[in-house]
């Protein structure tokens, strides 16, 4: 089917980025969140990021104005029912995602495609809780969405070929590259990335190096653009822990055991940039390591 209208559920960091790229690509977007304040902040972030693209001559002022004109917001989930494509980008908790799809289901058109931006949860299991597992896929964008080129496309066991091909075309229309992944815990990127971050936390936990030496070693010794602990703060330590738990539970291998120090930071509410403290303290002019 042809996709013209897109609903994005969740106006956080991922949701506003997804709305941004779809609106810029010519889709009509309806952004949903339970919080009016979150929606207002999301629109401000989208406008600021579009302005940055204009300044860098990636897009024109006309492109920006047209994109902003294609985005509407709503706090009512059922308003998304008539749309062609739904992208769930809510909190990385399966109970939350399942409840969203169950509430939305009675209001959907039969041909509407459902997708989740989950970074690790089973697509097959999420799809099985809906009335259309054949029209359900994982659509995992990388953060920050307007900048990162990759989108993981994950088929559940019941996803049909027509849905897959439609979503492949959608990703291409955004100017991004799709990587097809099988429905195993954490898919491709996080299956490889999160154990590396977790091992960096173990390296800190065991006193092999401090925060700064670990990050500098990987930036200068492995040519990574960002150190693993800095990256963990950017992603969110709660998200990192959730993905490690999915890997550990789903694959039953001790190599995926979350580091106790990562758990302790999350218990303290030190979740990284979004709470101003994680492996670095962001409350001053420059980030300061917390260990």
Residues labelled catalytic: 119, 140, 152, 190
Counting Cα atoms < 13 Å in the Cβ hemisphere of 153 gives 19
**119 annotated ligand binder:** yes
Q: Give CA–CA dist 171/118, Å, rounded.
A: 16
**92 annotated ligand binder:** yes
Q: Give CA–CA dist 14/140, Å, rounded.
A: 10
Q: Give CA–CA dist 25/67, Å, rounded.
A: 8
* Beta-bridge partner residues of 121: none
**94 annotated ligand binder:** no
**33 annotated ligand binder:** yes
**285 DSSP assignment:** S
**97 annotated ligand binder:** yes
Q: What are the φ/ψ torsions at residue 22 (nearest 5 degrees)? A: -70, -45
**267 annotated ligand binder:** no
* Beta-bridge partner residues of 71: 29
**13 annotated ligand binder:** yes
Burial of 207 (0-12, 13-18, 19+ CB in 10 A): exposed
**242 annotated ligand binder:** no
**81 annotated ligand binder:** no
**11 annotated ligand binder:** yes
**81 DSSP assignment:** T
Binding-site entries for NAD(+): 10-15, 33, 92, 97, 119, 143, 274
User: Per the annotation, where are the binding residues?
Assistant: 10-15, 33, 92, 97, 119, 143, 274
């Amino acid at each position: 089917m042809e996709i013209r209208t897109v609903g994005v559920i969740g106006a956080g960091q991922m949701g506003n980025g997804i709305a941004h790229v779809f609106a810029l690509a010519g889709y009509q977007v309806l952004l949903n969140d339970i919080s009016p304040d979150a929606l207002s902040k999301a629109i401000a972030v989208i406008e600021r990021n579009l302005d940055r693209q204009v300044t860098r001559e990636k897009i024109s002022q006309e492109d920006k104005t047209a994109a902003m004109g294609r985005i509407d917001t709503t706090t009512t989930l059922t308003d998304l029912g008539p749309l062609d494509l739904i992208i769930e980008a809510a909190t990385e908790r399966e109970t939350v995602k399942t409840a969203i799809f169950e509430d939305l289901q009675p209001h959907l058109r039969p041909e509407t495609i459902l997708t989740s931006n989950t970074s690790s949860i089973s697509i097959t299991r999420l799809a099985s809780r809906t009335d259309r597992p054949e029209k359900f896929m994982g659509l995992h964008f990388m953060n920050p969405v307007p900048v990162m080129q990759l989108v993981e496309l994950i088929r559940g066991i019941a996803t049909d070929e027509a849905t897959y091909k439609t979503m492949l075309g959608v990703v291409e229309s955004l100017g991004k590259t799709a990587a097809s992944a099988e429905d195993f815990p954490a898919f491709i990127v996080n299956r490889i990335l999160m154990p590396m971050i977790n091992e960096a936390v173990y390296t800190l936990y065991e006193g092999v190096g401090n925060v700064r030496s670990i990050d500098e070693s990987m930036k200068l010794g492995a040519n990574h653009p960002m150190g693993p602990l800095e990256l963990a703060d950017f992603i969110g330590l709660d998200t990192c822990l959730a993905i490690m738990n999915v890997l550990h539970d789903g694959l039953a291998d001790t190599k995926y055991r979350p580091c106790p120090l990562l758990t302790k930071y999350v218990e303290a509410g030190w979740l990284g940039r979004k709470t101003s403290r994680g492996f670095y303290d962001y409350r001053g002019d420059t980030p300061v390591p917390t260990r």
